[in-house]
Amino acid sequence: MSALTPLRRLALIGSTVVLTLGMTVASARADAIDDLNAHKDQIKSAISDAQSNVNQSSADVDAAKAKVADSSARVSTAQGLVADAQTRVDTAQAALDQAEADVSAAQAVEAQKAAELDTANQVLVAAKDKEAKGEAAIAAQKGAINAYARSILQDNMPMVNVAVLFNGGTTASLANRVQWSDTVLATNQVDLDQLRQLQEDLVADRQASQDAQLKADQAKQAADQQVLATQSAQDKAQTARDGLQAALDQQQVALGEQQAALAADQSVQAGAEQDLSTDQAALAALQAESANVDAQIAEAVRQAEAAARAAQDAANSGGSSGGSAPAAQSGGLIWPVDGVITDYYGWRTHPVWGTQLFHDGLDIGASCGKPIYAPASGQVTDEYYSSGYGYRLFIDHGVVGGSYLTTSYNHMSGYAVPSGTWVSQGQVVGYVGTTGVSTGCHLHFMVWDNGTKTNPLSYLP
């Protein structure tokens, strides 16, 4: 997260505003410009820190968004799994419902076949009762015939016992037996026909009742088997449905966990975005303050130039200006260090933060410890350490070639002169280093023209 908390950032902004309001540009003296430049550098340092905070907060927001996107994808996947599991449960429930319906239908068929079996048993009982009655009727009919035959014999009728005719008794001749048979049959033909009919009916009824019982029993057995099969199918469907429901429950639990993780990640993202907003507000406030100080410096330079011109006019007329502004220099600047240009003034991708930032100076690559020279005469106005620029040094050159110039030297390893020293062009003022936010030994050289930061290459030979 950012190095400064939102409260400390607001305190930093407040302090810079108080410092600015407490300053005055009523005088165009060089010390007032020096104070403004020093304050400008403080603001620049604060801006550097604020930009670092913004970059870090932006990275935090990006990371939080990536995590939210990943969590959202996980939630979507979990929702898909839940939907698939729910579909499987619904399908299994439909199969279970069908199995239960099949069981109910099979039980209904079983009940119907049981009723049919009961009816068949009742018919069989009735048939057996009828069979018993038929057998009794046959026996009675046989008795009647036998009684009739006995009565013929007892009455001395010219006939013999029917049994003699049927059993081949010892009659005198076959003619006599035939005669006797014809006599008996003619006498009791109706009784014999009735006997034969009773026997045929008895056999038919017995066979019909047996067939009905067998058919009903087979139907009942088939119904029982169907019930067992459908109950087995129902049990399997119930087991499958229960297993799928358990899987669905697990998927729903997993979905809840993913949704909770997503909510937590979204909360982190909201916090990161709030930090970013706070950091951006702090940076904007510092940038606005920097612009305000730039305007004050420009005004102070304008007044200093006016004072310098007045002093020059007074000198030309033999008077004295009484001011403290540096004397105007007619020559240009010399290179502050012997090296090669490694980065130019303007927009670039920052080599450390990786974001698009405005590069406010000229980078000259040189080995650490190499001397840095004053590009023109002037007064060293400030020396301090910045977390971004490392060890810094500022020189107020006054008017050089018609412009009021201020230069600064950054990322130095050390100073050669103290603040307040008047230095001549070419004098050693410090040494190349790689302090602050730096990727290697180099000098970050900056130029202000009439209080406005500008491209140093425009002033170098």
Residue 169: its pLDDT value, please?
53
> What fold characterizes domain 326-461?
Glucose Permease (Domain IIA) (2.70.70)
Residue 153: its pLDDT value, please?
65
User: In the chain, what are the domain boundaries?
Assistant: 326-461
Split at pLDDT 50, 70, 90, the class of 407 is: very high
First to last CA, the chain: 44
Split at pLDDT 50, 70, 90, the class of 315 is: low
Tell me which amino acid residue 121 is.
N
pLDDT digit string (tens) for 316-335? 565 433 334 445 565 589 99
Q: Which of 141 and 405 is assigned the larger pLDDT?
A: 405
| Nearest Cα to Cα of residue 344 among 434, 257, 457 | 457
Helix (H) or strand (E) holding 36: helix 30-154
pTM of the model: 0.42
Residue 138: its pLDDT value, please?
79
Q: Is the pLDDT of residue 168 over 70?
A: no
Residue 29: its pLDDT value, please?
44
Following DSSP, what letter does each residue of 259-286 receive, concatenated? HHHHHHHHHHHHHHHHHHHHHHHHHHHH
Q: Is the pLDDT of residue 295 over 90?
A: no
Q: Is the pLDDT of residue 25 over 70?
A: no
pLDDT digit string (tens) for 430-449? 999 999 999 999 999 999 99
Task: Name the average pLDDT for the chain.
Answer: 81
Lowest mean per-residue pLDDT among 28-32, 113-117, 356-360, 453-457: 28-32
Residues 206 and 274: their CA atoms lie apart, in Å, by 100
Residue 32: its pLDDT value, please?
57
- Using a 10 angstrom Cβ sphere, with 0-12 exposed, 13-18 middle and 19 or more buried, the burial of residue 22 is exposed
pLDDT digit string (tens) for 384-403? 999 999 999 999 999 998 99
Strand order in the sheet with 428-431: 371-373, 428-431, 414-415
Q: Which of 299 and 271 is assigned the larger pLDDT?
A: 271
Beta-strand pair 422-423/362-365: unpaired
Tell me which amino acid residue 454 is.
T
Lowest mean per-residue pLDDT among 69-78, 102-111, 325-334: 325-334
